[in-house]
Amino acid sequence: MHQNADLDHRPTASTHAFVVEPHPTPVPANERTGLIANPGFGRVFTDHMVTIRYNEVAGWHDAKITPRAAFQMDSASAVLHYAQEIFEGLKAYRLPDGGAALFRPSANAARFRASAERMAMVPLPDELFVESVRAIVRQEADWIPDIDGGALYLRPFMIASEVFLGVKPSSEYLYAVIASSVGAYFKGGAPAVTLWVSQDYTRAAPGGTGAAKCGGNYASSLIAQAEATRQGCDQVLFLDAVERRLIEELGGMNIFFVFDDGSIATPPLTGTILPGITRDSLLTLARDMGLSVREEPYAIDQCRADAESGRLLEAFACGTAAVVTPIGTMKMRDGAFQIGGGGPGQTTQRLRQALIDIQRGHAPDPYGWLERVI
Ligand SMILES: *Cc1c(COP(=O)(O)O)cnc(C)c1O
């Protein structure tokens, strides 16, 4: 696997064998079947979790699978005060032969490492990240719902656990992975959503943490999301923090546009946008479908003009949780405008299906994106 040993000279666990302490009273099979028949998103958790600890003496050590439980934590732990925290989100899918596979876990490992570096945290070696998510999927495969859109959503995260109120990078970290049985993010598949274009709040500034997957980015986006909800919209769309003009992304999803000349475009990764793995996968799929693909800035006024002239035919949001979500309408302070017919567009549906078919093992995987676990 990718060695980042030259980047990380700190000691790492010499063996990544996970000690398994099985749950003494796991959820009984019949109860689990009931829970995962209609799990929604992020409410049904499995029996176990992974934890790995870091300190300067032992390096990464104490890799375990234990019953999922509350953390005992000192009230002076650094994360509770200065939010030195990062996370990831990825899914394990049931394969047609009954096995299970992860989608591009090495890409999540690399992004987790980049997030750690931005937040001045000690990076977890990529291979340990990948082993940890494989280990939890192996342990909890029975929790993958066998329903349309079902998956085991994995949430790796890392927190600063040093007990100290001084402002500096923590010298101790706790890494954990929890797992949640999930169904389709939006009930009824992928209806078109309405976006509220936030003109008061921004998500990320140049030089800031926009490209890191850290909890702080979400905390600061919640007020804008609440405004979107008040405005009767489903999600918030953020503009760039400098000119308040260029479209960046949603609170937790990237954005794409489909034009009447058959081309598609998404904002470029300039450091203020989270580099989505779904985004990257769709760029590859679109190119291989023969679509002309651009990563270029797109101003909200131009977007509105293009929607009104008919040049802009479709828009969609993308991310691991909801995969691909059509955008039907955008609303801002001085009015709303519809995109295309206001419903799911053809190219959106085609890209969505192509990605889902690979993820679920229903189509060949020419890019080697699936990593079989069982
Ligand atoms: C996680 C995330 C995304 C989507 O990334 P994926 O790898 O596709 O799940 C997009 N934007 C933000 C802000 C995110 O945190």
d(CA 250, CA 196): 9
pLDDT digits (tens, 9 = 90+) for 282-323: 999 999 999 999 999 999 999 999 999 999 999 999 999 999
**Per-residue tokens: 283:** 């760029």
Q: Which ligand 1 atom sits nearest the alpha carbon of residue 320?
A: 9
Beta carbon of 276 within 6 Å of any ligand 1 atom: yes
pLDDT band at 188 (very low <50, low <70, confident <90, very high): low
More confidently predicted of 299 and 12: 299
Q: Please, which residues have CB within 8 angstroms of residue 14's CB and are 6 or more apart in sequence? A: none
211 CA distance to ligand 1 centroid (A)? 9
Beta carbon of 89 within 6 Å of any ligand 1 atom: yes
**Number of neighbouring beta carbons within 10 Å of residue 360:** 18
Annotate 105-128 with DSSP letters as a single string. HHHHHHHHHHHHHHTTPPPPPHHH
**Per-residue tokens: 261:** 């000349």
pLDDT digits (tens, 9 = 90+) for 315-374: 999 999 999 999 999 999 999 999 999 999 999 999 999 999 999 999 999 999 999 999
DSSP state at residue 140:
H
CB 121 within 8 A of CB 114: no
d(CA 344, CA 329): 11
CB 209 within 8 A of CB 220: no
* Residue minimizing CA distance to atom 12 of ligand 1: 252
pLDDT the model gives residue 12: 39
Residue with tokens 């919209």: 233
192 CA distance to ligand 1 centroid (A)? 19
22 CA distance to ligand 1 centroid (A)? 32
d(CA 317, CA 346): 14
pLDDT digits (tens, 9 = 90+) for 56-70: 999 999 999 999 999
Beta carbon of 236 within 6 Å of any ligand 1 atom: no
* Residue minimizing CA distance to atom 5 of ligand 1: 276
Beta carbon of 155 within 6 Å of any ligand 1 atom: no
DSSP state at residue 251:
S
CB 313 within 8 A of CB 327: no
pLDDT band at 191 (very low <50, low <70, confident <90, very high): confident
Domains in the chain, start-ordered, CATH in brackets?
5-182 (3.30.470.10), 193-359 (3.20.10.10)
CB 338 within 8 A of CB 355: no
Beta carbon of 213 within 6 Å of any ligand 1 atom: yes
Beta carbon of 252 within 6 Å of any ligand 1 atom: yes
d(CA 78, CA 75): 9
pLDDT the model gives residue 187: 61
Beta carbon of 210 within 6 Å of any ligand 1 atom: no
87 CA distance to ligand 1 centroid (A)? 11
CB 79 within 8 A of CB 158: no
Q: From 220, 274, 285, give the residue whose CB has the most ligand 1 atoms within 8 Å, as the site to mutate.
A: 274
* Residue minimizing CA distance to atom 1 of ligand 1: 252
Q: Which ligand 1 atom sits nearest the alpha carbon of residue 88?
A: 1
Q: From 41, 108, 118, 213, give the residue whose CB has the most ligand 1 atoms within 8 Å, as the site to mutate.
A: 213
d(CA 348, CA 176): 35
CB 184 within 8 A of CB 49: no
DSSP state at residue 9:
-
Q: Please, which residues have CB within 8 angstroms of residue 90's CB and are 6 or more apart in sequence? A: 102, 103, 104, 105, 108, 133, 153, 154, 156, 277, 320
Beta carbon of 267 within 6 Å of any ligand 1 atom: no
Question: pTM here?
Answer: 0.94
